Structure 1
Amino acid sequence: MNFNFLSPVSDLVLAHNELLSPQALGRKIKIHSEQNGIPDLEGVNVAILGVLENRNDVDYIGEEFQLNEIRKSFYSLFPGSWNTMVADLGDIEKGESVEDTYFALKEATGILVKKKIIPLIIGGSQDLTYANYRAYDALIPMVNVVNVDAQFNLGDSTKPIKNNSFVGKIILDKPYNLFNYANIGYQTYFNSQEEIDLMDSLYFELYRLGEVSKDITIVEPAMRDAHIVSIDLNAVKGSEVSVRQRFSPNGLDGKEICAIARYAGISNKVSSFGIYEYKPSKDDEMTAMLVAQMLWYFVEGVNYRVKDDDFSGDSSYQKFTTLTEDHELVFYKSNKTGRWWIEIPFLSEVNNKLKKHTLLPCMHQDYLDACNNKVPERWYKAYRKNSV
């Protein structure tokens, strides 16, 4: 397998790893080392992929960075009772140009996803999400993206891509493969009203920080429907991270961001997961350990995946039909997990993206709302999007 653009995990990290308890994660995972080369990926479920690219950061001033502290923190944690095999494939170094780095990330993601291995991308600037998204051009026809971020990063899509404009590129660049986009944890004062209105007019899903902090479970259905999850560390509040990493006094706390990572892991659809905007500094045990714990919770989630979205056998689910003023809504509840879905009808007269009834993940609360004549917002947006 051609991964010759990957550089091995540094000897410094490997030496540190040797001193850890034999039960620690670092002693149980497969690691790309100078000495042994790229590990055999047989049986691997999740692969860590560092990307040392930050040149499209709007604040880039030539600084280099590395991921050694994150690796040391992650290796030092203890695994749960997992059957999930993790590999650390090392790093994609900066290419001659940023496009070269994008190409390498796209190739690596494509190879791993085809092999049913989930890439865990730890990156510099978040525009790398665009390269991650483009890997799916050759994989599946329509892609759902979830971005955990304080800002929308729409930017001006006519200008070259930056870490504050990559979402605009994902929406507007051909081939158009984006089906649904959800932002989790946005903070209103960081986004212009025009951008918020644009997101609404495209029927994308927006979850404000306040809503998420009030009830973290509202993000689970969006995660269950996502193929790509991208997390900007700037969505985390300043008190949880090191001085250089601080962005805003408000944001998700450590517990919330780890819960979000676990929801992403548990989702049967999520096939790539990225954490971006890491800025190491001398006092940086905090951020490195937080990223390590997010990775841990993601792998924990993957370990507990349950195939509960196959509704072919009648015994696997219960079906509920409700009537609101304008619509008949059909809900499904999995007997295995108790998770809920709602049916989006196929509109035959419209040349829509869905060619059959599609099931949209939802919450029990959506069913209760529908019983009280209230149409769930996620259903309404998906229904409208298919009518466009």
Structure 2
Amino acid sequence: MNFSFLKPVSDAVLAHNELTAQQALGKKIKVHSRQNGIPDLEGVQMAIIGVLENRNDVNYIGNPINLDSIRKTLYTLFPGNWHTTLADLGDIEPGETVEDTYFAIRTAITGLVENRVIPIIIGGSQDLTYPTYRAYDELLPMVNVVSVDTNFDLGDANLPIKNNSYIGKVIVEEPYNLFNYTAIGYQTYFNSQEEIDLLEKLYFEAYRLGEISGDISKVEPLMRDAHIVSVDLKSIRASEVSDSQKYSPNGFSGKEICAISRYAGISNKVSSFGIYEYNGSKNDSATSMLVAQMIWYFIEGVNCRVKDDDFHNQDHYQKFNVLVENDELIFFKSLKTGRWWIEIPFLPNVNNKLKKHTLLPCMHSDYINATHGEIPERWYKAYQKNSF
């Protein structure tokens, strides 16, 4: 893997790290430094990459990005009882053009994911999710993207890409690799009715802030099938972050966004995790601490991963058949973890994208509701999408 375009972690961060406790995370991370170069990634499961690019932010006024405060804070935290190794590869600096930066992101992420290293991206504007998605062109035939955001960021796909329109590009630009897009925590007054209707028409999934805050465990099955998770820091309520980061009085609490990050880590399929829209400032301790804790919880989640979707061995699961109206719904429950799935049947005469029986992650409550005659909305949307 050629990462020569990465800028090393700053000497200021490394000097600060010398003062941290011997058991702190900073003493256990393999760090890309000016003195020692890029670390050997043998045995590394996760790698932090900063991306100092925000020129496609619709509010861009030339402010540079500095991630030192996040790193200083993260390095002082103590690791859990973890069995994984973490690296910090430093930063991707803005290229001559934004497209140059995108190319560097694609190159880095493709290289890492191919080698089973999960990139943890700390970035500027959220349009950086687009080159992350494009990095999968050579990796997977179909990709699932989960965005934690106040907005859908669909925008007008005919206009140049911006941080409020990158999902439109993901949907309409070839190659068409997007299978499912899930928006978590959207706030209706930030999204036009046309965008809400379009998401519904495409059978994508959208969950309002109140729905998720009312039961944060609903995030777990949504993350279980995701490959790319993109978190917009604007989804966090203003009272939880520093002045330069404040966006809306409504949003996720620090506790909720950390739980969401942990659910992303627990998912066996999530292979890249990005935190975007970071606006650093001098008085930035609240935001940098929260981002550091989100990263900590994601790493914690990865360490708690359990391979529980082996449905070839009948000793590993229970199967439940439920008749709802004219449909037979088939549920599976893992005996290892207690997690649930529902089967989406293969339609033999349709040129669909999956060509097989697909198991869709769900909750125990979906099974209970099905026994009372209620078809899960996720099943219906996935079934319709499978019929295209």
TM range, normalised to the smaller chain?
A: over 0.9
1:318 counterpart letter in structure 2: Q
- The residue that corresponds to 1:306 in the other structure is 306
- The residue that corresponds to 1:3 in the other structure is 3
Q: Which runs of 5+ in 1 are unaligned?
A: none
| SS in structure 1 of the partner of residue 70 of structure 2 | helix
- The residue that corresponds to 1:14 in the other structure is 14
Runs of 4+ in 1 over 2 A off after TM superposition: none
Q: Distance in 1 between matches of 2:343 and 2:206?
A: 21
- The residue that corresponds to 1:171 in the other structure is 171
- The residue that corresponds to 2:265 in the other structure is 265
Q: By how many angstroms is 1:240 displaced?
A: 0.3
Q: Distance in 2 between matches of 1:337 and 1:193?
A: 39
| SS in structure 2 of the partner of residue 138 of structure 1 | coil
| Residues 1:51 and 2:38 aligned together | no
Q: By how many angstroms is 1:353 displaced?
A: 0.7
Query: For 1:279-330, what per-residue CA distance to the aligned partner results, in whole angstroms no more than 9, with x for missing partners?
Result: 0011100000000000000000000000001111110101000000021000
Q: Which runs of 5+ in 2 are unaligned?
A: none
How does 1:353-372 map onto structure 2 within 5 Å? 353-372=353-372
Q: By how many angstroms is 1:219 displaced?
A: 1.2
| Residues 1:218 and 2:213 aligned together | no
- Normalization by structure 1: what TM-score? 1.00
Q: By how many angstroms is 1:337 displaced?
A: 0.3
Q: Distance in 1 between matches of 2:65 and 2:178?
A: 31
Q: Distance in 2 between matches of 1:293 and 1:326?
A: 47
- The residue that corresponds to 1:251 in the other structure is 251
- The residue that corresponds to 1:117 in the other structure is 117
2:85 counterpart letter in structure 1: M
| Residues 1:40 and 2:40 aligned together | yes
- The residue that corresponds to 2:65 in the other structure is 65
1:355 counterpart letter in structure 2: K
Q: Distance in 2 between matches of 1:28 and 1:60?
A: 36
Q: Distance in 1 between matches of 2:304 and 2:221?
A: 16
Q: Distance in 2 between matches of 1:357 and 1:58?
A: 42
- The residue that corresponds to 1:197 in the other structure is 197
Q: By how many angstroms is 1:63 displaced?
A: 1.2
2:287 counterpart letter in structure 1: T
Q: By how many angstroms is 1:84 displaced?
A: 1.1
Q: Distance in 1 between matches of 2:18 and 2:329?
A: 57
| Residues 1:156 and 2:156 aligned together | yes
Query: For 1:158-195, what per-residue CA distance to the aligned partner results, in whole angstroms no more than 9, with x for missing partners?
Result: 01000000010001111000000000000000001111
Query: For 1:3-26, what per-residue CA distance to the aligned partner results, in whole angstroms no more than 9, with x for missing partners?
Result: 000010000000000000000000
Q: Distance in 1 between matches of 2:63 and 2:264?
A: 31
Q: Distance in 2 between matches of 1:145 and 1:317?
A: 27
1:353 counterpart letter in structure 2: K
- The residue that corresponds to 1:188 in the other structure is 188
2:145 counterpart letter in structure 1: V
Query: For 1:186-236, what per-residue CA distance to the aligned partner results, in whole angstroms no more than 9, with x for missing partners?
Result: 000000111101101111111100001100011111100100000000000
- The residue that corresponds to 1:126 in the other structure is 126
- The residue that corresponds to 1:30 in the other structure is 30
Q: By how many angstroms is 1:354 displaced?
A: 1.3
- The residue that corresponds to 1:380 in the other structure is 380
- The residue that corresponds to 2:318 in the other structure is 318
Q: Distance in 2 between matches of 1:16 and 1:62?
A: 28
Q: Distance in 2 between matches of 1:101 and 1:123?
A: 12
1:129 counterpart letter in structure 2: T
- The residue that corresponds to 2:343 in the other structure is 343
Q: Distance in 2 between matches of 1:326 and 1:28?
A: 56
- The residue that corresponds to 2:297 in the other structure is 297
- The residue that corresponds to 1:103 in the other structure is 103
2:301 counterpart letter in structure 1: G
1:59 counterpart letter in structure 2: N
Query: For 1:316-361, what per-residue CA distance to the aligned partner results, in whole angstroms no more than 9, with x for missing partners?
Result: 1010000000210000000100000000000001110111101000
Using the aligned pairs only, state the percent identity.
71
Q: How many equivalent pairs are there?
A: 388
Q: Distance in 2 between matches of 1:183 and 1:220?
A: 13
Query: For 1:244-291, what per-residue CA distance to the aligned partner results, in whole angstroms no more than 9, with x for missing partners?
Result: 101100000000000000000000000000000000011100000000
Q: Distance in 2 between matches of 1:202 and 1:300?
A: 34
Q: By how many angstroms is 1:387 displaced?
A: 1.2
Query: For 1:81-104, what per-residue CA distance to the aligned partner results, in whole angstroms no more than 9, with x for missing partners?
Result: 000110000000000100000000
| SS in structure 2 of the partner of residue 105 of structure 1 | helix
- Normalization by structure 2: what TM-score? 1.00
| SS in structure 2 of the partner of residue 387 of structure 1 | coil
Q: Distance in 2 between matches of 1:376 and 1:272?
A: 28
Q: Distance in 1 between matches of 2:161 and 2:309?
A: 36
| SS in structure 2 of the partner of residue 137 of structure 1 | coil
Q: Distance in 2 between matches of 1:310 and 1:173?
A: 34
Q: Distance in 1 between matches of 2:102 and 2:320?
A: 45
Q: Distance in 2 between matches of 1:373 and 1:323?
A: 8
Q: Report the RMSD for the aligned CA atoms in angstroms.
A: 0.5
| Residues 1:282 and 2:261 aligned together | no
1:261 counterpart letter in structure 2: S
1:182 counterpart letter in structure 2: T
Q: Distance in 1 between matches of 2:163 and 2:70?
A: 21
